[in-house]
Chains A and B, each alone.
Chain A
């Protein structure tokens, strides 16, 4: 596609429920990244995919968070048993691995846990 697409754009969920956030990167971009931006905070790295593998998942805050990528394309970030502190904007970005063109970000998913 022309840009990085994220869905849903907004998600309100009850504490304790599971949520899935989706990211569709730019076609041909082999690298995909998830970041989190909490209210008033900076961007926090969560996980990086190269193809379908995740060589760096050091930013996942707990074992309630997991992510997968299939077909070297779409990625899903899953948060189990959501907590109020999970409320944030979740941003996805993609880039062409090894190229010098930087990251392209999606518009994000605003998650609110009530």
Chain B
């Protein structure tokens, strides 16, 4: 059974610092990995999608890496801003038949002005 873990569970940094969020998964047979952002009381917003054949994806200040063999992904957010405060979730999609994502517990980020 696939298990996804995110460490740390919470993170507080001063504005301007780079953020490093970690995601690990137990079964490397994945189709892709997706990072989401969730603001309090809101749904999930997709940030980056990395296919299993890819090593990284970038969008603006966001960069996500994937090391499938070791079961790890890292989300980097450069030059953090107070508006980056949110919960960040990673989710993996299995390579086997079936499409459901397995989510990590999330990392709650607070960027202090």
Contacts and interface: CB of A to CB of B under 8 A. Distances in A.
A103 B34 contact: yes
Interface residues of B, number: 23
Contacts of A106: 43
Q: Report, as a range, how many residues of chain A touch the other chain.
A: 20 to 34
A102 B106 contact: no
Interface stretch (B59-67, B69-77, B95-103): B95-103
B104 A42 contact: yes
A97 B98 CA distance: 10
B105 A42 contact: yes
A43 B103 contact: yes
B68 to A, nearest CB: 15
Contact of A105 (B36, B98, B99, B100): B36
Main DSSP-derived SS at the A contact region: strand
Nearest to A32: B99
Contacts, number: 54
Main DSSP-derived SS at the B contact region: strand
Interface string B33-68: 010100001111110010100000000000000000
Contacts of A102: 32, 34, 46, 49, 93
B101 A55 contact: no
A93 B45 CA distance: 11
Given A101-B49, A102-B32, A102-B34, A56 B100 contact: yes
Contact of B43 (A48, A95, A107): A107
A69 interface: no
A105 B103 CA distance: 13
Interface in A34-60: 35, 42-43, 45, 48, 50, 55-56, 59
Interface of B: 32, 34, 36, 41-46, 49, 51, 89, 91, 93, 98-106
